[in-house]
Structure 1
């Protein structure tokens, strides 16, 4: 299954290090679950938040092009059209009616949601159940591995910003400077790549030690 990127950013990234499932740490598995849930919610966005579909009413209107105005259940989308090359630019306002969604039905309701919004709730749950597949989870795992370089750049950016803030506070209050050894260790830690997988337990024997016995 092709890996999509609903969370934004560059879809191109690093490949999977192995086609076999790799043992990751608990925090890394939680990050994969977040991506997986975001992909499922993005696939079922029309059922959750609603979508617009064209209505039957078209009205000519001379307004500025490429502007959208939302009003309640309708959206006014100005579409430029050119019937003939010699004619001037004509604009139409296309009335788009919003399809009923669970979010719109559940707005300003509490315990009556399960009764009043039963149809929308079933549609939303059915869509999420249909998209919550092992293939989608594998695609989320591939997306997590593809974003390793992006996460490393983000960590480096935060580390540089933190160091600048520490230098400013130290200069402002007249605190002593960090020694060269501490600064060198921090720079080495910042350049380290992301570790894939968790750390072995202290009381767990390694495979190599078991084979030597």
Structure 2
């Protein structure tokens, strides 16, 4: 499988996971920053390899084999992110692009040894679940920060938005995984929140709060 084909499978997996419905050509084109016609050409190739279920003008889903391949790529990506942060001291906003390259290494033995070396981690540095070698994800008991009420106290366990810009913003606000967050007040007008994060206060917009997960 080519690098481009792997990227398409991963993109389809994430889009379906977000919306739980057939993924449109335009949605794939937007994420991958390419033309819809180019997406259609690739979808035909993936369908010929029986990696996707493709209906013209209807959308696309992964076949069982395609889903297995996508999960394997995601597993490699997230394990490499753990390695880069824990062993090479990269920050969580630096690792995505590097892991994008490392995830295409074709060696099952390397990945299994990497998993063991890291102590079989369950989550990556952004709080995303890491599937095991059977492709299974553990259950995530989490909710969005935006759903909390005044006085609620939780632990930050993951971020929904893993873009470099968002992670840099959280660094600037001195917010990280594992932090204790207490809701001091929620503004009815715009749903912004005044929070106590560990020992300092911070005000976050509704958009930011909708991109942070805390434990249930």
TM-score interval w.r.t. the shorter chain?
under 0.3
- What TM-score, normalized by structure 1, do the two folds share? 0.23
- What TM-score, normalized by structure 2, do the two folds share? 0.23
Q: Point out the structure with the larger helix share.
A: 1
Give 1 or 2 for the bigger CA radius of gyration.
1
Greater relative contact order (Cα < 8 A, sep 6+):
1
